Amino acid sequence: MIEEFYNQIGGDYSKAISRMQNDERIQKYLKFFLMDESYNQLKTAIEANDCESAFRGAHTLKGVCQNMAFENLSKIVEQITEELRAKEFEKALATFPNVAEEYQKVIDGINEII
Partner 1 sequence: MEERDTLLIADDVMINRELLKDIFEGKYNILEASDGEEAIELLHKYKDKIALLFLDLVMPKKDGLEVMHYMSLNNMISTIPVIMITGEATVESDVKAYELGAADIIYKPFEPAVVTRRAKNIIELYQHRISIENELAIRTKELRESKRKIEQSNIFLTNALSSVVEFRSMESGEHIQRVKRLTRIMLRHWRALYGQKQFTDEQIELMVNASALHDVGKIAIPDNILLKPGRLTDEEYEEMKKHTIYGCQMLEHFKQEETEFYRYSYEICRYHHERYDGRGYPDGLSGEDIPIWAQVVSIVDVYDALVNKRVYKESFTPEETYRMIHRGDCGTFSPKLLKCFDDAKKDMIEATE
Q: Is 75 in the site for partner 1 (CB under 8 A)?
A: no
DSSP per position, the chain: -HHHHHHHHT--HHHHHHHH-SHHHHHHHHHHHHH--HHHHHHHHHHTT-HHHHHHHHHHHHHHHHHHT-HHHHHHHHHHHHHHHTT-HHHHHHHHHHHHHHHHHHHHHHHHH-
Binding partner 1 (rule: CB under 8 A), the pick from 60, 102, 103, 106 is 60
Q: Is 28 in the site for partner 1 (CB under 8 A)?
A: yes
Q: Is 66 in the site for partner 1 (CB under 8 A)?
A: yes
Binding site for partner 1 (CB under 8 A): 15, 18-21, 25, 28-29, 32-33, 35-36, 38, 56, 59-60, 62-64, 66-69
